[in-house]
Structure 1
C-alpha cells in the first residue's frame, strides 16, 4: 500500500474495499473469504485455468482496483493470481511468454493504468519469474465498447477482430482478470495464433461463468 492511500483513508474515513467495514485496508474477514484454488474450467484448446470464482468479496475488490483508484490492491490480487500462474508455468516445463490481455486506450487513460498488465507483473514477481517473461504482445486494432456495457450475446461480436499480435514463435500463455463469456480471451487467442504463437493456456484470476464448479 502506498503512503498516500492510508493518509487519505485517515482523512476521509477508511473502509474495506471488499465489504465496506470500517478500517484500513482489506479486512480480515474478506481476506479469509478468498482462497485461490486454481483449476481448469474449460478443456480448450487452449485450456482455461481460473484461480477463483468471481463472487463477493472479490467482485468489489476487483472493481475497486480497476475503477475506483485502489491501485494498492494490485499486489494482493497478484498474490491470488500467482498460484494459477505457477501451475501453468510448471505444466509448460519452462517459462512461456506471459501475454496480458490489452486494455483499451480509453480505459487506460480513464484508470491511469493498464490493470491486467500490472496484475500479471505482480503475480510474476510472486512466482520469481524474470521480468521479461511478461510480454505485451497484443494490441487493440479498433475501438470496442466496454464489455460491461453490452449484453452477453453481443460480447463476441464486440471483440471480434479487435486485436492483433506481434509476430513470433514459441509458447505463450494469455492472461486476463475476469472471464465471463470468454469473448475477449477467444479474440486474444485468435490474434496470437494468427501471428504464429503457440497458445498453451489461458489464465484468469476469476471465473464468472461457471459458479457451480466452485461449490
Structure 2
C-alpha cells in the first residue's frame, strides 16, 4: 500500500484520521458525547463573536493564538516602571496587546467566571514564559521562580479562584514550563479595613501607585511547611500578572520580593494596555526582525 508522503519524503501526518485502537476510539466518542451533553445542559457562546457551543470558537481561538504569537517588551507603556530620566526600573514581557480577542477572553475569564478559557489563555501565557530567556537579558540558563500577583480577598470571594494562579497552574499541569522554571505563589495581599479598600480600575495613575503601596507581603508558610522567605533569599524571580496598565501592581510586587533578598529579573503579563496615543508592538528590543 502506498503511504502518502510530504515533499521532504517523510510519511504524511495522519493526525486527522480516526484512532487505530478501539479504546482510543471509545475515549474519543465519550469525550464528544460529554461535550455535547455539557453544552446541552449549560449552553455557552463564544466570548468574542457569540457563536454557540464554545467558550472560544475555532476561528476566534486561531485569532487569539495569532495575536499572542509574538511576545514583546512592554514596560515603556507603563509610566510607573520608568524613571524620570526615561530608564527602565522593571523590564516587562507582554504576550500581546490588550485588545480584540485577547482582551475579550481575559475579561470573560476574570469577571464572568469563564474558567474554561484557562487552557487557551494558559497556553498563550506559556508563549511568554518560553520567550523570557530571549527578552529578559541575563535570564538564559538560570533557574527562575514565577511568582503570581495574588488576587485580593474580595476578588477571590467574588470569583472563587485566583485568575493568574489558575493560568500558571494550568501550565504546570500540562507540563508546559521550560526546564528550570517553577511556579511559586509566595505573595499575599495585606488585609485592609473596608473604608481603605479602593479598586485599581477606578483610579488615576498617581492614585493607583498610592493604592498599592505596601499592599503586599510575603506569605508566612506554604502548604508543605516551607518558609517562603527562605526560598526567596538569593533566588531569581519573575513577577506574573494578567494585564499591564500603569505598572503599579507589578512594581509593588517586585519591591516586596526584592525586600527578601530575591533578584527580580522582570515581569511577565498576558496583555499590555496602551493609551490611544501609543502605537502597538512594544519596544524594538522585544520585536523579532
Query: Normalising TM by the smaller chain, what interval?
Result: 0.7 to 0.9
Contact kept in structure 2, 1:82 and 1:126, CA below 8 Å: no
Separation in structure 1 between the aligned mates of residue 186 and residue 130 of structure 2, nearest angstrom: 20
Shift of 1:119: 0.9
Contact kept in structure 1, 2:133 and 2:140, CA below 8 Å: yes
Separation in structure 2 between the aligned mates of residue 101 and residue 182 of structure 1, nearest angstrom: 12
- TM (normalized to structure 1)? 0.87
RMSD: 2.7
Shift of 1:102: 0.5
> Is the helix fraction higher in 1 or 2?
1
Where in structure 1 are there 5+ consecutive unaligned residues?
none
- Of 15, 25, 28, which aligns to 2:58? 28
Give CA-to-partner distance per residue, 1:29-53, whole Å, 9 cap, x none.
3223222211112273431100100
**Residues 1:98 and 1:6: Cα distance change in structure 2 (over 3 Å):** farther
1:174 aligned counterpart, secondary structure = strand
2:72 match: 39
How many pairs were matched up? 214
Is the radius of gyration larger for structure 1 or structure 2? 2
**Residues 1:48 and 1:107: Cα distance change in structure 2 (over 3 Å):** same
Separation in structure 2 between the aligned mates of residue 18 and residue 45 of structure 1, nearest angstrom: 35
Where in structure 2 are there 5+ consecutive unaligned residues?
1-30, 77-87, 219-227, 283-289
2:74 aligned counterpart, secondary structure = strand
- Of 50, 73, 80, which aligns to 2:124? 80
1:173 aligned counterpart, secondary structure = strand
Contact kept in structure 1, 2:147 and 2:238, CA below 8 Å: yes
Shift of 1:126: 5.0
- TM (normalized to structure 2)? 0.66
Shift of 1:9: 3.7
Query: Residue 15 in 1 paired to residue 28 in 2?
Result: no
